[in-house]
Amino acid sequence: MAEQLLVAEGLGKTYGDVVTTVALSDVAFALERGEFASIVGQSGSGKSTLLNLIGLLDTPTTGSVSLDGKETTALGRSGRTRLRNELLGFVFQFHHLLPEFSVLENVVMPGLVGGGSEKALRPRAEEVLALLGLEGLEDKNANQLSGGQKQRVAIARALLNRPALVLADEPTGNLDTANTALVYELFRKVNAELGTAFLIVTHDRAVAQQTDRILEVSDGRLVQDVRNEFGAPSG
């Protein structure tokens, strides 16, 4: 059996003290290294809350999250921050590139945040940019790129620290059909070549169908966890 990368147990999140809203309740699943999975659900179903908990951006009200064998529930803010930098890559619906920096600088940023030097990080950044078909754009300002290019730079940035897991929240929500297809193709390529696990949150079932495993969240509960034999890349 493949090594477990992520283990979520009894995960729940409740907001409010007096009037409480249960966003997520008793979610349990595990993700193996190199898996290519999606979380699907309607708006407000709790899928983004789940992603935030797994991504250590938020703390659960109940349950626990283990990443790479490390139990994270007891960690403080700085401990979770460090783990995010080391183990996770994020891709959001909006690219969130820093407009003050060039493409290359944006891509090396997670490495700089982790304490690396730009000189040492540059070869890896160029390698990732090449993998995503962004050669030659290194010195451009992030604002000079098209929407699709920006999102690809954001993916490159998510990959810089060689994360074990990339969490993508509606990563193609702002893209046209052609760019959407390209982004998933790239996710697959990275998954295959680097062995990076992907967990993609989407409300679009057609998108989810392209992944190997679909976790469905509804009303804050994990209602389905199925292997998707059609999701495997052709060839």
Q: Please report, as ranges, the residues that interact with other proteins according to CB under 8 A.
A: 48, 52, 55, 57-58, 77-78, 81-82, 84-86, 90, 92-94, 96, 98-101, 109-110, 112-114, 157, 169
**Least gap, CB of 87 to other proteins (angstroms):** 10
Largest Cα span, the chain: 55
188's CB contacts (< 8 A; 6+ apart) are: 36, 233
Q: Which of 87, 44, 91, 48 has its CA nearest to residue 66?
A: 87
Contact 91, 158 (CB under 8 A): yes
116's CB contacts (< 8 A; 6+ apart) are: 108
**Least gap, CB of 82 to other proteins (angstroms):** 7
How many C-beta atoms lie closer than 10 Å to residue 131's C-beta?
18
**Least gap, CB of 111 to other proteins (angstroms):** 10
Complex with other proteins: residue 143 or 234, whichever CB lies closer: 143
Complex with other proteins: residue 91 or 213, whichever CB lies closer: 91
Complex with other proteins: residue 25 or 52, whichever CB lies closer: 52
Starting at the earlier edge strand, list the strands of the sheet with 70-71.
21-32, 4-15, 62-67, 70-71
| Six token digits for residue 193 | 């070549």
Complex with other proteins: residue 96 or 227, whichever CB lies closer: 96
| Six token digits for residue 112 | 């700089």
**Burial class of residue 40, CB neighbours in 10 A (0-12, 13-18, 19+):** buried
Complex with other proteins: residue 106 or 179, whichever CB lies closer: 106
How many C-beta atoms lie closer than 10 Å to residue 64's C-beta?
16
Q: How far is CA 126 from the centre of its chain?
A: 21
Complex with other proteins: residue 29 or 101, whichever CB lies closer: 101
Residue with tokens 């992603």: 51
**Least gap, CB of 96 to other proteins (angstroms):** 4
**Least gap, CB of 81 to other proteins (angstroms):** 5
**Least gap, CB of 158 to other proteins (angstroms):** 8
**Least gap, CB of 226 to other proteins (angstroms):** 27
Beta strands 21-32 and 4-15, pairing class: antiparallel
Complex with other proteins: residue 170 or 212, whichever CB lies closer: 170
